[in-house]
Amino acid sequence: MVISSTVTHPDEQRQSITCTFASRYMRDPVPKFKLPESSIPKDAAYQIINDELMLDGKPRLNLASFVTTWMEPECDKLIMDSLNKNYVDMDEYPVTTELQNRCVNIIAHLFHAPIGEEETAVGVGTVGSSEAIMLAGLAFKRKWQTKRKAEGKPYDKPNIVTGANVQVCWEKFARYFEVELKEVKLTEDYYVMDPLKAVEMVDENTICVAAILGSTLTGEFEDVKLLNELLTIKNKETGWDTPIHVDAASGGFVAPFLYPDLEWDFRLPWVKSINVSGHKYGLVYPGIGWVVWRNKDDLPDDLVFHINYLGSDQPTFTLNFSKGSSQIIAQYYQFIRLGFEGYKNVMENCLENTRVLKEGIEKTGRFKIVSKDIGVPLVAFSLKDSSQHTVFEIADHLRKYGWIVPAYTMPADAQHIAVLRVVIREDFSCSLAERLVSDIVKVVNHLDTLPSALSSKSAHVAVIASETSKEVKKDITETQAEIARYWKKLVDGKRVGAC
Amino acid sequence: MVFPKPASESDLFLPYNFTSPHNADSLPRFSIPDNSMPKEAAYQNIHDELQLDAIPKLNLASFVTTSMEEECNKLIMESINKNYVDMDEYPATTDLHNRCVNMIARLFNVEIGENESAIGAGTVGSSEAIMLAGLAFKKKWQNKRKAEGKSYDKPNLVTGANVQVCWEKFARYFEVELREVNVREDYYVMDPAKAVEMVDENTICVAAILGSTYNGEFEDVKLLNDLLLEKNKQTGWDTPIHVDAASGGFIAPFLYPELEWDFRLPLVKSINVSGHKYGLVYAGIGWVIWRTKEDLPEDLIFHINYLGADQPTFTLNFSKGSSQIIAQYYQLIRLGQEGYRRIMEDCRENAMVLKKHLEGTGYFNILSKDNGVPVVAFSLKDRSQYDEFKISKMLRRHGWVVPAYPMPPGAEHIKVLRVVIRAEFSRTLAERLALDIKNVLHELQKLPLNIKDEKSMVDTALEANREIIAQESNKRQKIMAA
């Protein structure tokens, strides 16, 4: 780490006319561990950072993520203008606060919350579904504890029932808030939570059952209606009143537009809270989620902090405090810009492109489609024959064409199944779908010409590194390291980039 | 979040102000509109409504940064679509995050080698940072008690009554008892001796604030450390310290480098700082740093496989934008130590200018200290004719947002006005504000008695109502004073 001296460098005197790349700032090593002693011109700072960030992946080619990567320039402008507004300053920015409240109400109505025309909904904007889920979980835990205390029963062992396909933030919630996580294991060909098994696991210490609308691994919708019916029966027998939470992080902005008749939301009486990610199919940049409660009673008052807002009471309940207002404004922009028909058109396009991709992949004859037709628009597929090559290799090779397509193993008890998953976002057009299919075909054909990489018999492995067919020989240590990495990936599969 | 109250008919629909055929219908306010509208109209609609928000730069209530350089704005917009948590996809961004953690850790004199990596994380703000630090303390304490075979169901945390609201949130959400040391007149921060008295075997940590939100004062962390060392020797409880340096963390290293408050003190195990206060970044970034690996219990960390290597993560939030992290790195390399030092010196200078003017009027007591966060907290010497809330209200009419609130429990009878001197608060603005405060004083003195002196005019019911509003306002100000 270079610590600049105090001697004036000739360049500094010519600072204003020296081209950034000709200046000494391009020669000095970039600060990594220690705050540099001197300042540098803003052009140099911009250039240094910009150049490093060129090595990041291209957000739009990132097919691993549900998170929105493109918005209209008008919206970008609004975002820019509100970057310096601290969302939590309700006194100072009343309109921004008002926009947040409108979004909450719009979403609550979309989910058929049982509120009257004149009533306002109970909900809040969060930084993402993680925070939303923690708030919802906290509400359930507190409500259950209060009930148990009133009954004079022990309240120190709360648990939550969910599928093993659950996203990592439920595990975080369980660990941080000291709730036991009871996971319903999956089986081959049934990759979501089985409502029957879930209800079996419910006991008096269960604070809620969490169902997912849009499983991260296969995009499938869990059968919330069946869960509700089974739970109604069990609750009648036991009197435990175990409620349901629906994690609609991806599905919450898909189901109302594509499958309006599917009953999964507040139309089911035991559903008490729902979370959705604004930054997935809500079509906003990363950093916004929403949680909505059925009504006031589902949110224990002692968790809510009361702030006096313009003379009236403004309750708040979030983990984060100060944060930017941009994404909230962007969400509202999308609601009024697109409206119901706009969202519906976008989702229908996604569905159509999903179909194109799925058919293209099926036509190769090498893959089995694991995702369902009804669900979040994504295609999850596994190799029919994994003996010679794995989906991990396919993922690796696709990177060379610029695509980021992740490969995962399924959670317990289906760990032997590994899939590739392509998420179809708003900006993934039909032409991109066709291009991806042709690149997958190229990769598969190419792999057919290679010996199996999982074989540890040969000491040297020949790998074709680029289009110019340069052969690179690896030695034993490298091969073993590669194999170790593959196995490590298999083990850690669930945690790799799945969101 | 909105609470049920009857909405009027006009509240349910938004009227338009354009004549284009698309805008003939009014927009519903509570449910999603059926049809789309042109993007220009959507933009204009929202843009116009937002004109009614306050001007961020004139908001003197907040510590949070409201202006950054154009080059930085450019970087922010370019990375607005990058999901920070996709470490595989955006390795350069992840690298920048790690560099920020390391730079800030070394700024706080953490004891690690030249090329060793520090333990810390970027968060959405000090609230998340404090919750993570608190969680680590709680888990560590629980593990220790379990190993000793003792009860671990009643953890508590000792802090001053001047603490920011997020500590109360932490206590309530994570079921830890909050033990607050009351302040007293002329001593508005936590008294280390009293704090150490309150420590018992169930205390997970003592939290000291570097830069109290009420008056910007630095608490005496060194004294706390020394007293706690003694107590720990006697009891064997090993109670640690956390320093909430939300505002002070980017001031003390530059203005008061000799002040020992950070990892130079052996009992300090974690520190949080807000990047969006004197870190000079827009709202939405905070940092938490731990002393060593041992201070962050392994079972709280989630391991993600990152490019074949293990990347441990420990945050409450998952997906979020990368913009503020990149902006923080930009500020760190753009300004360097000399840049930050210059800016903090300017802030202190402007604070002194304002303070001098206020003292010169003869009407005010200054409650903020010279050494601390550049904040000027002042109260009226004579409250018989009008109070601080009145002054705050009158200043609003001039465009300034200067909050008024009572001091924490133990000194609630003292009310203050507080002006935060941020980096963009120039000397000119300081003098203008001083002038406007003097004008307000003149206006208030000229008002006839029966309007000024509300106490004698009002009947009990109205006064009671006002009391309630004042109480709620106190709570609000306490929360807003962050």
> What is the pLDDT, as a whole number, of residue B426?
87
Angle between helices A73-81 and A326-363 (to 10 degrees): 150
Determine the Cα angle at B261 with ends B258 and B265, to 5°: 105
> What is the pLDDT, as a whole number, of residue B238?
92
For residue A287, pLDDT beyond 70 = yes
Chain B residues whose CB is inside 8 A of the A71 CB are: 81
pLDDT above 70 covers a percentage of chain A that reads 84
| Angstrom distances, CA of residue A4 to CA of A31, A49, A52, B156, B250 | 11, 19, 22, 47, 21
Q: How far apart are the first and last CA of chain A?
A: 36
Q: Are B53 and A302 within 8 A, CB to CB?
A: no
The conformation of residue B408, written as its DSSP 8-state character, comes to P
pLDDT digits (tens, 9 = 90+) for B183-196: 888 888 999 999 99
d(CA B220, CA B234) in angstroms, rounded, equals 22
| Angstrom distances, CA of residue B356 to CA of B188, B343, B375, B378 | 21, 20, 13, 12
For residue A499, pLDDT beyond 50 = no
B11-29 average pLDDT score: 50
Residue type, B85: V
Alpha helices in A14-66 (DSSP H): 42-53
B413-435 average pLDDT score: 90
Local confidence band at B27 (pLDDT 50, 70, 90 cut-offs): low
Cβ atoms of B252 and B264 within 8 Å: the answer is: no
**CB nearest to A120's CB, from B4, B31, B321:** B4
> What is the pLDDT, as a whole number, of residue B4?
42
Q: Residue A154, Cβ neighbours under 10 Å: how many?
A: 10
**CB nearest to B52's CB, from A68, A95, A333:** A95
Q: Give the gap in angstroms from C-alpha A90 to the nearest C-alpha of chain B.
A: 9
> What is the pLDDT, as a whole number, of residue A20?
67
Provide the token pair at A160: 């939550």
For residue A54, pLDDT beyond 90 = no
Q: Which of residues 295-354 of B touch A (CB under 8 A)?
A: 299-300, 302-305, 308, 316-322, 324, 326, 329-330, 332-340
Q: Are B124 and A320 within 8 A, CB to CB?
A: yes
* Residue A411: partners with Cβ closer than 8 Å, 6 or more residues away: A164, A165, A186, A217, A494
| Angstrom distances, CA of residue B278 to CA of A19, B246, B253 | 31, 9, 12
> What is the pLDDT, as a whole number, of residue A22?
66
pLDDT above 90 covers a percentage of chain A that reads 50
pLDDT digits (tens, 9 = 90+) for A304-351: 887 654 445 666 788 887 788 899 999 999 999 999 999 999 999 999
H or E segment and range at residue A126: strand A122-126
Alpha helices in B149-220 (DSSP H): 165-173, 192-198
Q: Are A35 and B7 within 8 A, CB to CB?
A: no
Question: What global pTM score does this model have?
Answer: 0.84
Q: Are A65 and B89 within 8 A, CB to CB?
A: yes
Cβ atoms of B272 and B232 within 8 Å: the answer is: no
Local confidence band at A183 (pLDDT 50, 70, 90 cut-offs): very high
* Residue A82: partners with Cβ closer than 8 Å, 6 or more residues away: A96, A324, A325, A326, A329, B50
Going by C-alpha positions, the residue among B108, B461, B466 that lies closest to residue B268 is: B108
pLDDT digits (tens, 9 = 90+) for B35-91: 888 989 889 989 988 888 878 877 888 888 988 999 999 999 999 888 888 777 788
Local confidence band at A162 (pLDDT 50, 70, 90 cut-offs): very high
Q: Are A101 and B2 within 8 A, CB to CB?
A: yes
Cβ atoms of A179 and A160 within 8 Å: the answer is: yes
* Residue B94: partners with Cβ closer than 8 Å, 6 or more residues away: B87, B306, B311
Going by C-alpha positions, the residue among B119, B278, B157 that lies closest to residue B210 is: B278
A140-165 average pLDDT score: 94
> What is the pLDDT, as a whole number, of residue B208?
96
Cβ atoms of A129 and A289 within 8 Å: the answer is: yes
Q: Are B333 and A40 within 8 A, CB to CB?
A: yes
For residue A7, pLDDT beyond 80 = no
Local confidence band at A476 (pLDDT 50, 70, 90 cut-offs): very low
How would DSSP label each residue in A297-358? Answer: GGS-GGGPEEEEETTEEEEE--S--S-BSHHHHHHHHHHHHHHHHHHHHHHHHHHHHHHHHH
Local confidence band at A212 (pLDDT 50, 70, 90 cut-offs): very high
For residue B430, pLDDT beyond 50 = yes
Q: Which of residues 306-345 of A touch B (CB under 8 A)?
A: 306-309, 311-317, 319-327, 329, 332-333, 335-343, 345
Counting every residue, how long is chain A? 499
A82 touches chain B (CB under 8 A): yes
pLDDT digits (tens, 9 = 90+) for B257-313: 999 999 999 999 999 999 999 999 999 999 999 999 899 998 888 876 544 455 667
How are the residues of chain A apportioned to helix, strand and coil, as percentages rounded to the nearest 5? 40, 15, 40
Chain A residues whose CB is inside 8 A of the B73 CB are: 80, 83
d(CA A372, CA B203) in angstroms, rounded, equals 52
B159-184 average pLDDT score: 90
Q: Which residue has the higher pLDDT, A391 or A498?
A: A391
